[in-house]
Structure 1
Amino acid sequence: MNNVKDQHKKRQTQTFSQIKFEQFWPILDRETLAWIEIKQDPHYALLSHAQIKRYVLESIQYGEAIAKQHTSKTQLKTLLNLLLQQGVQIKFIDLTHEKNEVRARYIRKPATIEIFRSSLIQIEQFFNKMGYHLSIEDLILLHVYHEWFHHLEETVIERTDETLPRILVKQTGPFKRYQTIAKTREIAAHTFTQHLLHISWSPLLIDQLLLLSEKNITKPQIREKFQELKQQAKTIFKEQ
Structure 2
Amino acid sequence: MTMDFWTPIRLSIEIALVSGFIVIVLGTFIGKWMAKKTFKGKTVVETVLLLPLVLPPTVVGFLLIIIFGKNSWLGQGIEWLFHQPIMFTWWAAVIASAIVAFPLMYQSAKTGFEAVDENVENAARIDGAKEWQVFLFISIPLAMKSIVSGSILSFTRALGEFGATLMFAGNLPGKTQTTPLAIYVAIDAGNMTLAWSWVIVMIGLSFVLLLGVHLIKAPAR
TM-score by length of 1: 0.26
Task: Please say which structure displays the higher CA radius of gyration.
Answer: 2
TM-score by length of 2: 0.28
